[in-house]
A = this chain, B = another copy of it.
Amino acid sequence: MESPVNPRKRPAQSRSRATVEAILEAATRILRDEGLSAVNTNRVAERAGVSVGSLYQYFPSRAAILSELVRRMRLSMSARLAEASVEARQLPLERAIPLMMSAAIWQYEMEPRLTRALEEAEAQLPRDPEVMAGRRKVREAMVSCLSGRGIADPAEAATDVIAMTRGIVTTALAMGLTDFEAIRARIGRAALGYLRECPRNAADPGDRRPA
């Protein structure tokens, strides 16, 4: 029914590990340079200097290749945000938010086209547990940064802040903007403004850290 997404076979020798990496690299290049629709198994194999047969030894489907790339992207993104949240937790909102926003748009800044294409792929791919876990980690990092600041529903706030950020960044990129300093400022304003407008939990200590 559904095309499988997990590796068919684990590469055992170094030769095959190189093959797998070559395939993923080729897919990445095509994705970045020519977009999602240009990524097909024949082309990926060709660009990787590998035969289609070999490709299918390690990836059971086209979706599996894309899934692996999306996994890596979400993993890197969540790691960066989790790291930032450690420092951000103990800063006032005005300083915490820029820190978090910088971490959030890091991928877009480094690889705008690739990151966009990967999000496009993520939307089309069947739900993948690891990808979902990555997304959850992103949200948890944001929640951890927001909690203990008197916000009534930090989980909802985190969801919205992330969604707003994605919206603004995506639109800015689609318009061809490349000044990430300006983009950072704008999403910073959006997040901070939103949070100030949020329902407050009176019992919660405004900006001080909880025990």
Contact = CB atoms under 8 A, between A and B. Distances in A.
Interface string A37-49: 1000000000000
Size class of A's contact patch? 20 to 34
A61 B113 CA distance: 28
Given A193-B192, A193-B196, A197-B193, A186 B167 contact: no
Nearest to A198: B189
Contacts of A168: 160, 163-164, 167
A170 interface: yes
Contact of A193 (B37, B159, B172, B194): B194
Interface of A: 37, 120, 123-124, 156, 159-160, 162-168, 170-172, 175, 186, 189-190, 192-198
